[in-house]
Amino acid sequence: MIIGTGLIANGFKSAYTHREDVCIYAAGVSNSSCTDVREFDRERKRLNVALHNSMHTDCFVYFSTCSVVDPEIQHTPYVLHKLAMEQLVTAHPRHLIFRLPQVAGKTPNPHTLLNFLYAHIARSESFNLWSKARRNIIDVDDMAAIAGQLIQDTTVRNLTMNIANPVSYSMIDVVESMAVAVGKPAIYNLIERGSEYTIDTSTIRPLLDKAHVIFGDNYLATVLGKYYDKAV
């Protein structure tokens, strides 16, 4: 079963909608800038209900964020909330917690980094760009394929792991690649801010061949082209 209707949920729709042995929990707060306690409480309540109703399942899957190790935002309300939700999920006897980076895919959510960049570039609007920041980007289809390998292996349970690209990109590279996909120049003001952090992807490396996922040199351009190419 799948709980949620957004980008992540849709990535698992074809494979898990009618499965009762696996619960894909892909609902809750999706805006990393959120500070609304009511939104956090709403997810907490919904997650508790889902856990209670899914104790019989072979696997309960929850999606958290790789930002828990980002020194710039690891102490924000959103990240602290995600860590608290991870703790709730550990009550399930057979759970998996997947921490994700920026996930690329078709979504109307204006709060995603990539949709923000696309909207501003498409409208020729100026924005501030943190020159020292790096971001990790993965295609939702690749994320779901890797996660699927882990879910199918019934010996892999009660773990928290990153599903991410082994390479993080400078925000300047991300913006310029988005500009190429959109077909318009990006207008931005460079701000001397930002940081980079390491995301450990060693756990998923052995699964990439089985999942048919290749993180090549052109991965960023290919993924942005897939979802944003001349979509103005």
- List the domain boundaries for the chain: 2-228
Q: Report pTM.
A: 0.95
Q: Which residue has the higher pLDDT, 13 or 230?
A: 13
- Strand-strand pairing, 127-130 and 102-104: unpaired
Q: pLDDT of 114-136, one tens digit each?
A: 999 999 999 999 999 999 999 99
Residues 67-85 as b or e (16 or more Cβ within 10 Å = b): bbebeeeeebbbbebbeeb
Look-up: residue for tokens 């992807």?
A: 201
* Residue 176, token pair as written in the block: 């310029």
Q: What pLDDT is stored for residue 42 in this prediction?
A: 94
Torsion angle, CA of 141/146/152/156, rounded to 10 degrees? -150
169 near 135, Cβ under 8 Å?
yes
User: Which of 5-14, 133-142, 174-183 bottoms out in mean pLDDT, i.e. has the lowest?
Assistant: 5-14
* Per-residue pLDDT at 232 exceeds 50: no
Domain 2-228: top CATH class? alpha beta
